[in-house]
Amino acid sequence: MKPAQLTAIGAAVVLTAGIYFGTNRVPPPKVNANAKPARPAEGAMHQKVSEASFDSILLASKVQLPKAEQEALKKLESEATKHTEGADGAKACAAIADLWKKNNNGLMYAYYSAQSGKLENSAKQLTFAAQLFLNEIEKATSESVQSWEISQATGFLEASLKIDSNNNETKLALATIYVQGGGEPMKGVMLLRGITEKNPDDVPANMLLGRMSIQSGQNDKAIKRFETVLKKDPQNSEAMFFLAQAYEALGNKSKAIELLTQCKKLVNKPEFSREIDEKINTLK
């Protein structure tokens, strides 16, 4: 699992405001005027890296703490050993999480937040902790730490779904990890199809399935997914962008140009417009 791939997972799952496409949408890649839709390298999503151990990560984190904070942490850890179950255990873990948050250690904050969520049996808290892990991916100092982060996030999202099996946002996040970092793409596909079977017009699920279809070269399927999105959300510039990419891959340059032109007008940002104009010129 390569660092760049893992970083992409964080970007996909966070679903933060995009550079071009506004809030709650994943930003597109920069437009390369000469590029064709990319296919994943053989085995790229399935390459495994040995995970770092929690103990080694915890030790490395502790030595970064000021002495006073190290002493405070010892007391909190001692208290936590006395309360390993239920509300008291959750409270003890939450106190440790707060100490790490105060000291700007997002990884340990995420870990202990998850432990608190487990003891509270809180799907919301577990999903929150998983997202914190994903936010930390690009900050990791090694691939082994990144691999551990992905493993933790996956486990917490799976635990969250066991508690709340109908949460589509959690399913979407977990599907993204399965596909892009967990080496289990079919698990991700099944989760997404489960969403679209109940709600065929679900925008996030169709968006991700569409992007997966482009990546695997199934552009006919991608077109159906993005057209479904645009029927429900005609102003979805991201769907237009990737729909244009799918049409281009099938040789329909005129349709690609039409969609890219619409997308440019909707986004209406100078840098994006320049890139789209360059792309359109190569298609003429």
Mean pLDDT of 112-117: 96
Let me know how long the chain is.
284
Three-state helix/strand/coil letters over the chain: CCHHHHHHHHHHHHCCCECCCECCCCCCCCCCCCCCCCCCCCCHHHCCCCCCCHHHHHHHHHCCCCHHHHHHHHHHHHHHHHCCCHHHHHHHHHHHHHHHHHCCCHHHHHHHHHHHHHHHCCHHHHHHHHHHHHHCHHHCCCHHHHHHHHHHHHHHHHHHHHHCCCCHHHHHHHHHHHHHCCCCHHHHHHHHHHHHHHCCCCHHHHHHHHHHHHHCCCHHHHHHHHHHHHHHCCCCHHHHHHHHHHHHHCCCHHHHHHHHHHHHHHHCCHHHHHHHHHHHHHHC
pLDDT bracket for residue 83 (50, 70, 90): confident
With bands split at pLDDT 50, 70 and 90, how would you rate the model's confidence at 152?
Answer: very high
Please report the pLDDT score of residue 284 as a whole number. Answer: 87
For residue 41, pLDDT over 70 is answered with no
Q: What is the mean pLDDT of the chain?
A: 83
pLDDT confidence bin for 13, thresholds 50/70/90: very low
- CATH for 1-44+191-284? 1.25.40.10
What's the CA gap between 157 and 132, in Å, rounded?
12
Name which residue leads in pLDDT, 212 or 29. Answer: 212
38 has a pLDDT exceeding 70: no
Q: Say if residues 116 and 90 touch (Cβ distance below 8 Å).
A: yes
Confidence of residue 179 (pLDDT cuts 50, 70, 90): confident
> Which of 64-68, 114-118, 183-187, 266-270 bottoms out in mean pLDDT, i.e. has the lowest?
183-187
- Asked whether residue 17 carries a pLDDT value surpassing 60, the answer given is no
Give domain limits for the chain: 1-44+191-284, 48-165
pLDDT for the residue numbered 48: 57
| For residue 156, pLDDT beyond 80 | yes
Whether pLDDT at 162 is above 90: yes
Return the closest-CA partner of residue 114 out of 69, 163, 62. Answer: 163
Q: What is the band of 182 on the pLDDT scale with cuts at 50, 70, 90?
A: low
